Amino acid sequence: MYNLKSMKAEEFISHDEIMESLEYADANKDNVELIDSIIEKAKLRKGLDHREASVLLACDIPEKIAEIYNLAEQIKKDFYGNRIVMFAPLYLSNYCVNGCVYCPYHMKNKNIPRKKLNQEEVAREVAALQDMGHKRLAIEAGEDPVNNPIEYILECIDTIYGIKHKNGAIRRVNVNIAATTVENYKKLKDAGIGTYILFQETYHRESYEKLHPTGPKHDYAYHTEAMDRAMEGGIDDVGLGVLFGLELYRYEYCALLMHAEHLEAVHGVGPHTISVPRIKKADDIDPSAFDNSISDEIFCKIAALIRVAVPYTGMIISTRETESVREEIIRLGVSQISGGSRTSVGGYAEAERPHDTEQFDVSDQRTLDEVVNWLMRAGYIPSFCTACYREGRTGDRFMSLCKSGQILNCCHPNALMTLSEYLMDYASKDTRAVGEKLIENELDKIPNEKVLSICRDNLKKIEDGSRDFRF
Ligand code: SAM
């Protein structure tokens, strides 16, 4: 039985409720009156529930889709402006005891060399990432209680935060590791992590069990209830995600929203981010072996409808996607992207991109400088800001910043100041020239005179060598 507030996976992600919602969506996909009323509700920018949003996803009336896309673009502008937060993944270890059939790190893959960074290697990777200009990382590891126990992850986090390299430091470490216990989530919280990210892969229980035939990840309920344990452990920024291609996208979209509604209902705060990865080719993985792959068009529709249904939730797109898909999807609602990523263990310290331990093929292989340059030419502000979490603005406190309309006096100047640091320390000559012009133009958008004046002062100080200013 469906129960939003239940702590049992099968009740808050009720299969029956999803099937009924999809039936309702099918029955109403041409019901223009209802669709219009849902779009009107979405315009209030308070989100949609999973049933309403599923109707819009099922709808294929071109004019209505165009309206939804315009609204998504507008909501994105209102909530996130033209800022795009930059990050990079850091692969710590590809040892894994699970049997995930879409992932090359699965235990039975004897092809792939197994590698785990020691602390000197972590430091080398972090120095290489800092030399590119990164300030925010997402650490990634396979699940292996012997090779990658929580103590190892904690030691790595400690190492990462401890490195001061030239003008740089990693200021926010997000963590993407397997579902774990409340006690371990508490330890991650105490280690000062940013967001805890865990992809559901698929919400469809039967498929989930087939796709994860062996290992601890086989346990659907334990995996699906992980975010509740994370929040119980004190982590209030959690990141959801579905691996698109495994199951029917409409099923996943509906369930993803139900998961968000559940977190909001139980913990008073919804997910901080939603990621939208699609299956990619990798060592012994062939994406065409999965039946449910989605076109770029549907992919963009999903992104637009995530933006419309959960306006306060950031959306992340990785380098799994090509430059052209990234361009379109950023416009429709993505707020965070990775750049210059390497998905192999120890990949950043190598001069050439290594492929032997890669988790998936990277489609967007441009350098961070190229991505930053491209974003700015398209009118975006690449932001290296990590202020919210360092100021304690996590969970619902971040949401209230959004809701209070103070973004332009806070996030906007922070983005400009961190971009300026990037331009001074890491950018190519051309990127720096483009960026300096952009910053000058964007300063005009800061409404509060006092904030504007402090921001101008700080930009001058950054030019003179000082670093790390924030509102
Ligand atoms: N091991 C952790 C877990 O079980 O959640 C998380 C880390 S894993 C390195 C990160 C994510 O990569 C997975 O959750 C999965 O969605 C994604 N992934 C795995 N194989 C992939 C593939 N072939 N293409 C694209 N993404 C993939």
In the predicted structure, residue 396 carries a pLDDT above the cut 80: no
The sign of the CA dihedral 342, 429, 161, 392 is negative
Give the separation between CA 451 and CA 147, rounded to whole angstroms.
Answer: 49
What single-letter DSSP state applies at residue 239?
A: E
In the predicted structure, residue 405 carries a pLDDT above the cut 90: no
CA-241 nearest atom, ligand 1 = 16
In the predicted structure, residue 346 carries a pLDDT above the cut 80: yes
**Hey, what amino acid is at 44?**
L
The arithmetic mean of pLDDT across residues 290-295, rounded, is 94
Other residues' Cβ atoms within 10 Å of the Cβ of residue 181: 14
Q: Give the three-class secondary structure for 200.
A: coil
pLDDT of residue 394: 82
In the predicted structure, residue 455 carries a pLDDT above the cut 80: yes
In the predicted structure, residue 111 carries a pLDDT above the cut 80: yes
Closest Cα to residue 140, out of 128, 129, 153?
153
Whole-model pTM: value is 0.97
Residue 166, sorted as left (phi over 0), alpha (psi -120 to 50) or beta, turns out to be left
Residue with CA at minimum distance from ligand 1 atom 1: 142
What single-letter DSSP state applies at residue 216?
A: G
In the predicted structure, residue 155 carries a pLDDT above the cut 90: yes
What single-letter DSSP state applies at residue 83?
A: E
Question: Separation of 412 CA from ligand 1 center, angstroms?
Answer: 32
CA-201 nearest atom, ligand 1 = 16
Question: Separation of 320 CA from ligand 1 center, angstroms?
Answer: 11
Closest Cα to residue 202, out of 90, 291, 317?
291
Pairing of strands 83-93, 336-338: parallel
Question: Separation of 146 CA from ligand 1 center, angstroms?
Answer: 20
Distances (CA, A) of 21 to 68, 173, 258: 20, 37, 11
Q: How confident is the model at residue 238 (pLDDT cuts 50, 70, 90)?
A: very high
Give the separation between CA 304 and CA 318, rounded to whole angstroms.
Answer: 16
CB 423 within 8 A of CB 432: yes
- Two structure tokens written together for 454: 């402090």
pLDDT tens digits along 361-376 = 999 999 999 999 999 9
Give the separation between CA 307 and CA 323, rounded to whole angstroms.
Answer: 20
Closest Cα to residue 101, out of 239, 234, 201?
201
Q: Which residue has the tokens 């219009």?
A: 36
Question: Separation of 334 CA from ligand 1 center, angstroms?
Answer: 20
In the predicted structure, residue 86 carries a pLDDT above the cut 80: yes
Question: Separation of 444 CA from ligand 1 center, angstroms?
Answer: 41
Pocket test for ligand 1, best of 150, 359, 362 (most atoms within 8 A of CB): 359
In the predicted structure, residue 407 carries a pLDDT above the cut 90: no
Residue 195 exposure: Cα atoms within 13 Å on the Cβ side: 30
In the predicted structure, residue 134 carries a pLDDT above the cut 90: yes
Q: Give the three-class secondary structure for 242.
A: strand
Q: Give the three-class secondary structure for 467.
A: coil
pLDDT of residue 285: 95
The ligand 1 site (C-beta within 6 Å) comprises 102-103, 140, 142-143, 176-178, 198-199, 201, 217, 243, 277, 279-280, 282, 285, 320, 359-360
Residues of the chain with pLDDT > 70: what percent? 99
In the predicted structure, residue 400 carries a pLDDT above the cut 80: no
Q: Look over the chain and give the mean of its residue pLDDT values, rounded to a whole number.
A: 96
The arithmetic mean of pLDDT across residues 214-227, rounded, is 98
CA-198 nearest atom, ligand 1 = 5
pLDDT tens digits along 245-268 = 999 999 999 999 999 999 999 999
In the predicted structure, residue 397 carries a pLDDT above the cut 80: no
Q: What angle do CA 294, 298, 302 make, to 5 degrees?
A: 110
CA-142 nearest atom, ligand 1 = 1
Residue with CA at minimum distance from ligand 1 atom 25: 279
- Please provide the DSSP assignment of 267-301 as one string: HS---SEEE--B---BTTB-GGGSTT---HHHHHH
